[in-house]
Amino acid sequence: MNDNSKEEITNLKDSLNIEDVIGTYVQLESKLGGKWIGLCPFHDDTTPSMHVHTGKQIFKCFACNEGGDVIAFISKIKSCTFAEAVNLLRQEWCNGSTPPPQHIARREKAKQKPPATPAQLAAMEAENVKFMRSMYGHHPALARIHEVKLDDHSWMDGNKYHPDCSDITQTYVDFEVSQAGSTVPSAFKAMRGRIVFPIRDENNRLVAFAGRTTQTITDENRSYTPKYVNSQTSDLYNKSRTLYGLHLAGEPIRTETFAFLTEGYKDTLAMVAAGFKNTVAQCGAAFTDDHAELLKRYTKRVAVLMDADERGREIAAAAIVVLHRHDMQTSELLLPPGEDPDSLFRRIGKRAFRTIVAESQLTGHLQAIKESTGMDLASLVSDNPLESPEADEADIISTMQSDRPRLMAREQELQHQMRKLGSKRFLFGQGPERMQINTELMKLRSQLSEVSKQLNRPIVWYK
């Protein structure tokens, strides 16, 4: 039998754990969902860019675009052929032994790299600017030079990119979104043919790009056609320390006293197009401590709005943990199942989208309460005289939605009473009268919190 037959190769891969093999060469850290991350050995990576998926038994670097199965990894790391990689795996992994770790020296070397000088940083940014200007797309300065008008469809020729949604178009212009052509500088070859989202840091420096494929991602092409490719980590750009859109969102965040945090670039653009200019997105799959510290310079309150799927819930939960670790207040907003801000905006339009975000999707909020507490939805409205024991969840939700005017009136009355007591409290020192007022304020605050939950106000903060 041929030792390298398709069946034998399949048996070999099934007998190995890809995280164990890659872990010999890369120090991996465990993440949610059976995934591991580590420094990519195939480029000068200083923050973890390589993801290893134990379920699919594949690896993928989202910076340099290397990826594949365990054999592809060995072929690349050892600079050998497919057959040589197979033999090496059999010799070192199928005889009951495990090769010693070989990644320590590389990590030390990465730490010893001297930082770039201001001149080097300026040169890196200049290359980014040159690449962006080569893409004739949604760049305001280029639009003015070429007298581009959005109602003139000739501007869609060449490499110009149109988001195919008139309500979002101007936001794509403002954020300089373009589409790379088939011929690009070698340093940006991973961006060829992709929709390119320029990434600026909080100081408005053009530090990186994210390229989204124009292809439809399927199970067949997922392993070799990544949805996004990103600029490599450098002294100019570190995705773990960069928030997309912060250069424009900084002042709106301070004005609104809170920030929306989304999962991706397109989601942030949809939020901004809807008027929520205090929106940023994490760069990369993980919200980090550096992200939290960066955001904390602008606000201590963050409304987390991720995709309404299992992965989105995992990302939201992880981000909330990090935010709480930095003593920040959070509110998790919920969208209809399977939606994300971009898809929902495009499906229902700007006005309806604003309503759902503002009310934080009442149905989803009630369902989240049911899942987290085990409480039946009927018990949430047990004090409502309109509710009947036979009502199903849809009836209950409909009743609560129709009861909003009464709840809003009650909310305003509670707020009025609290303002009066707050003013009255300043007239007293530390005597019993002040203690009584504080007690009454606590009661009113508790009542207001319950009313706000039923109204599902978008900013209900938790610590």
Q: Please name the fold of domain 118-237.
A: DNA primase DNAg catalytic core, N-terminal domain (3.90.980)
Tokens of 428: 């007293």
More confident residue, 298 or 373: 298
Residue-wise burial string across 390-402, b where 16 or more C-beta atoms lie within 10 A, e elsewhere: ebeeeebbeebee
Rounded average pLDDT over 221-225 = 62
Contact 303, 459 (CB under 8 A): yes
Q: What is the pLDDT of residues 242-296, one digit of tens each?
A: 999 999 999 999 998 899 999 999 999 999 999 999 999 998 778 989 999 999 9
Question: What integer pLDDT is reported at residue 279 of this predicted model?
Answer: 96
**In this predicted model, which residue has the larger pLDDT, 364 or 232?**
232
Contact 249, 259 (CB under 8 A): yes
Q: What are the domain boundaries of the chain?
A: 6-111, 118-237, 242-359, 403-457
Per-residue pLDDT, 250: 95
pLDDT-above-90 percentage for the chain: 23
How high is the pLDDT of residue 334? 79
Q: How confident is the model at residue 224 (pLDDT cuts 50, 70, 90)?
A: low
What pLDDT is attached to residue 403? Answer: 56
**pLDDT on residue 357:** 81
Query: In angstroms, rounded to a whole number, what is the distance separating the alpha carbons of residues 144 and 346?
Result: 27
Averaged pLDDT of the chain: 77
Tell me which of 1.50.10.20, 3.90.580.10, 3.30.565.10, 3.10.20.30 is the CATH number of domain 6-111. 3.90.580.10
Percentage of the residues of the chain whose pLDDT score is greater than 70:
71
- Give the model confidence (pLDDT) of 333-385 as tens digits: 878 888 899 999 999 899 888 877 876 534 434 444 444 455 554 444 444 33
Q: Phi and psi of 89, rounded to 5°?
A: -65, -40
CA 299 to chain centre: 18
Candidate from 15-29, 134-148, 341-355 with smallest mean pLDDT: 134-148
pLDDT digits over 306-321, tens only? Answer: 998 888 888 888 899 9
Does domain 242-359 correspond to CATH entry 3.30.70.260? Answer: no
> Mean pLDDT over residues 109-138, rounded?
79
Q: Do domains 118-237 and 242-359 have the same CATH topology?
A: no
